[in-house]
Amino acid sequence: MKLILKNKMLAGTFWMSFGSIFSRVLGVLYLIPWLLMFGSQSNQYAAQALFNSAYNAYALFLALGTSGFPTAISRKIAIYNSENRFYDSRHLFKAALVFMTISGLICGGLFYFFAPLIAAHSPVSDTQAASLTIRALVPALVILPVMSVIRGWFQGNQDLKPFGISQLFEQLARIVFIMLMTYLSFNLLHLSLAVAVAWSTFAAFVGAVVSLIYLWRYYQQKRSFYQQQLQVSRPAGNLKIKQLFWQIIQEALPFVYVGSGITLGQLIDQFTFKSIMQHSTSFDLTKIQNLFTLFSANPTKITTVIISLAIAMSGTTLPLLASAQTDHQKAAAVIQDNFRMLFGLLAPITIILALLAGQINTIFFGYNAHGGWLLFWSILMTFIQAVFTDVFTMVQSLGKHRLAVILLTITLILKLILQYPLVYFFHDYGALLATALAFAVTMGYCLQYLMNYSQIQRFSQFADLGLLTKVNLLFALAVTLLLAALKWLPLGVGRLDCLIFSIIFGVPALLLYLGLAYWYGLPQIVLKLNWKKKSYKHF
């Protein structure tokens, strides 16, 4: 049974990671030609600031309309299926589709109405342009809730392949539309930068439509399987529509709030950074906008890869943990398997990205030494947020919604308390430090809670974290020495030079980690893989 759970988690993480990470990698790679279309660096900074001011607020409204509800539905469907109540699962899914359609219309209307207010409090120099780019995201907000609940259905049925592939299709369609419309509007028709960025944000709607078409076709292909489940199902329970809606709301609200945690932290930066900097410095609005771009807009495009891997792991764990609640030993095994993959896979990726921060920043955004250091600290901070995302999802999967809500509230209060003094003294670095400290405190508490739940008191014994920490520290030391040695290469600070350096560094760094992993037996410990048999049929 333990091996089956491991295989489900491994396969699920593979498909979730495949779609999530590759879609986000594409979402980073397109930035190079997209920004180059805008010409001067001042135009590029302005485009990034407009784009980010729209997407931070959009992410919050999207979370209100999607984040918690599919997760809650997925968890409830997993529980119903484990009890052989497939009729109830289907009834819940149908009710959720109606509910999410209404949710999308409400969130889209509110987002359109509040767009000028959001723009006015964002660190941008042109609030009218920001309002336009924000409102261009309204159609996506209307349709995405329906798409997300269909993904929640597949997640609850532990079928994560369409979840991952649909993300990839969504991103591909979005990028093609962005590149086409930016070229046509800004370079060919010579329309304003604001119009070009607005078309770029509208692309989220185009991607959502393509993803929705794929998900619906996949659902049609699986209809015969779902009919077989209904034939062996227990009779439908006496669940009325109002009861179903109430169940969805009760399950979803904590997930909505907690799922918005990182976005809420980013919005605190967006709505407070400008006023604090205007009070504590003599910088003009353009300078403040550029600093916001360097510490928030630019790093977010890179660090999303780290967050996406954590979301993939936690999303895979959620239905497994929800269905294993009645078996404490099984639930504890799922939790520890999750942490083994999180620290065995995510930590080395974070180390490599952090050490290459300067080069990565140059490749995507042009050379800027200050921007490179901000990206370095952003990547380290994001690892804390990634672990935070994972542990909070597991706490909620165990039904401890109230605890998760209280701890996130404490996190945001800490962020607000630390924000002013740290930004006042350390400016852009202060905003990153305030986020890292606030999220680290509650992340550590949740980690301790999960250790106690698993009846393990020592950190080193929990999920083999002692061994994984040792391997990652050795890896960090080895690749730091490798980086110092490669600094003597006669390469400049141009985009191509940094790309060549990243490849020269990245390949041996990866081989180093594979060697350390093999030496300490991590494939067997983390992934339960046998190097000799190489049986991957569960993929």
At 231-263, the pLDDT tens digits run 777 776 666 767 766 766 776 777 778 878 888
Tell me which amino acid residue 219 is.
Answer: Y
- Asked whether residue 496 carries a pLDDT value surpassing 80, the answer given is yes
Q: Contact, 257 vs 106, CB < 8 A?
A: no
**pLDDT at position 353:** 92
Burial class (CB in 10 A: 0-12, 13-18, 19+), 487: exposed
Confidence bin at 448 (pLDDT 50/70/90) = confident
d(CA 370, CA 393): 34
Tell me which amino acid residue 149 is.
Answer: V
d(CA 43, CA 50): 10
Q: What is the mean pLDDT of residues 57-84?
A: 73
**pLDDT at position 461:** 66
- Asked whether residue 487 carries a pLDDT value surpassing 60, the answer given is yes
- Asked whether residue 182 carries a pLDDT value surpassing 90, the answer given is yes
DSSP string over 143-210: HHHHHHHHHHHHHHTT--HHHHHHHHHHHHHHHHHHHHHHIIIIIIS---HHHHHHHHHHHHHHHHHH
Q: What predicted TM-score, i.e. pTM, was given to this entire model?
A: 0.76
**pLDDT at position 27:** 76
- Asked whether residue 432 carries a pLDDT value surpassing 90, the answer given is yes
Is the sign of the CA dihedral 318, 320, 324, 329 positive or negative?
A: negative
- Asked whether residue 82 carries a pLDDT value surpassing 80, the answer given is no
Among 43-57, 186-200, 506-520, whose mean pLDDT is lowest? 43-57
**pLDDT at position 173:** 93
Q: What is the mean pLDDT of residues 413-434?
A: 93
**pLDDT at position 533:** 42
**pLDDT at position 475:** 92
- Asked whether residue 457 carries a pLDDT value surpassing 80, the answer given is no
Tokens of 199: 């078309």
3-state class (DSSP) for residue 126: coil
Q: What is the mean pLDDT of residues 378-398?
A: 87
**pLDDT at position 460:** 63
Is the model more confident about 432 or about 120? 432
**pLDDT at position 380:** 92
Among 75-84, 123-132, 143-152, 178-187, whose mean pLDDT is lowest? 75-84
Tell me which amino acid residue 473 is.
Answer: L
**pLDDT at position 18:** 63
d(CA 443, CA 11): 26
Residue 457 DSSP label: -
At 339-372, the pLDDT tens digits run 787 888 888 989 999 999 999 999 888 888 999 9
Is the model more confident about 12 or about 476? 476
Mean pLDDT of the chain: 82
Share of the chain above pLDDT 70, in %: 85
- Tell me, letter by letter, the H, E, C secondary structure of 302-331: HHHHHHHHHHHHHHHHHHHHHHCCCCHHHH
Burial class (CB in 10 A: 0-12, 13-18, 19+), 284: exposed
**pLDDT at position 423:** 92
**pLDDT at position 356:** 92
At 523-533, the pLDDT tens digits run 776 665 554 44
Domain residues of the chain, as ranges? 37-256, 281-539
**pLDDT at position 74:** 77
**pLDDT at position 421:** 94
Q: What is the mean pLDDT of residues 155-182?
A: 85
**pLDDT at position 5:** 44
d(CA 138, CA 144): 10
CA distances from 294 to 30, 124, 429, 458 (A): 18, 13, 10, 40
Q: Which residues contact 487 (CB under 8 A, 6 or more apart)?
A: none
Burial class (CB in 10 A: 0-12, 13-18, 19+), 128: exposed
Q: Which residues contact 342 (CB under 8 A, 6 or more apart)?
A: 310, 313, 386, 387, 390
- Asked whether residue 3 carries a pLDDT value surpassing 70, the answer given is no
**pLDDT at position 526:** 64
